[in-house]
Structure 1
Amino acid sequence: MVEQFRAKVFKSGNSVALRLPKALGLKDGDEMMILREDRAGFTVEPVEAPKRKIDLTGIYGSLPDLKLLTPEDRIMEPRELDWEGKLLKGD
């Protein structure tokens, strides 16, 4: 089933803009790709947002006392925990 929506073109500065209906579920800032097909019209598709990565390379050198953990340092020993007044034993 194909849904149809009407949209209106309006002037925005020195450009024209296409106002899309809220029913499409788009958010402010979403990017769209507009494909112009030979005399057939236009196709508007959402652009997938790139996955964000955090670059920590600049932080590593700025903390001289920070050392990398060895695999042995990552092993945690079992210990008793007191959560909500109940004493729990680690495995």
Structure 2
Amino acid sequence: MPRQWKTKTFKSGNSVAVRLPKSAGLTEGDDVILVPHDDGSFSFWREQDGARVLDSLFGAFSAGFMAEGRGDIEQAERDWDGQPRAA
């Protein structure tokens, strides 16, 4: 099981903040990406680790994912000027 920490939120100016232990691996001034999920949970990582996080997400797909491609998908012509085309 990954390490976990318990903490409390606190008010900092007009924001809500979370204090993280040094052992979490963040340092002062790190740019952090925070992603809220539909279930109320959050994920976060250092911005500099974004490529590694993306790679780990791709590793989460099964070995056979899209092995047969996407299949035939009909797509309407697009008018890149923003005006809908008559069919």
TM-score, normalised to structure 2, is 0.50
Instruction: Report the structure, 1 or 2, having the larger helix content.
Output: 2
Instruction: Report the structure, 1 or 2, having the larger strand content.
Output: 1
Larger Rg: 1
